[in-house]
């Protein structure tokens, strides 16, 4: 799943939660909780890959705080329940934004390094 799909899915769940009656809201929260808990393991791998790539690109020190936030947030996911999930939605959105920012910064750095001799 790419970042755009992640954002779209988050938006769909939030809309469903906000527009649903209490029973539908609880069902949507359970479904979304199952989804993010299933993705948490993959997120840990992604964070480790980001860390390695940032180190290789010389950007690790600059982005260490964002990686720490991602690690801590992913670490909270297994402890979530439906009551804690709704307030955590903002954190999830921030996680997606940070990941997108890291991807863009890494691409820019790698492109610059790759093509700098031609510019």
Cβ count within 10 A of residue 32: 24
pLDDT score for 4: 60
8 A C-beta contact, residue 51 and residue 69 = no
Domain ranges of the chain: 3-118
Task: Dump pLDDT digits (tens) for 83-108.
Answer: 898 889 889 889 988 988 999 999 99
Task: Dump pLDDT digits (tens) for 26-76.
Answer: 888 888 899 888 888 888 888 999 899 999 999 999 999 999 999 999 999
pLDDT score for 79: 92
Distance separating alpha carbons of residues 104 and 119, to the nearest angstrom: 20
Of 29, 45, 12, 7, residue with least CA distance to 81? 29
* pTM score: 0.81
């Amino acid at each position: 799943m790419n970042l755009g799909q992640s954002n779209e899915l988050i938006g769909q769940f939030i809309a469903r939660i906000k527009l649903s009656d209490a029973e539908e809201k609880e069902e949507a929260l359970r479904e979304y909780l199952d989804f993010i808990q299933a993705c948490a393991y993959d997120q840990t791998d992604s964070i480790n890959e980001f860390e390695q790539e940032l180190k290789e690109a010389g950007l690790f020190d600059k982005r260490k705080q964002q990686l720490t936030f991602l690690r801590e947030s992913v670490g909270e996911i297994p402890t979530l329940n439906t009551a804690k999930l709704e307030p955590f939605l903002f954190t999830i959105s921030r996680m997606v934004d940070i990941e997108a920012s890291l991807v863009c910064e890494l691409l820019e750095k790698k492109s610059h390094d790759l093509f700098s001799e031609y510019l």
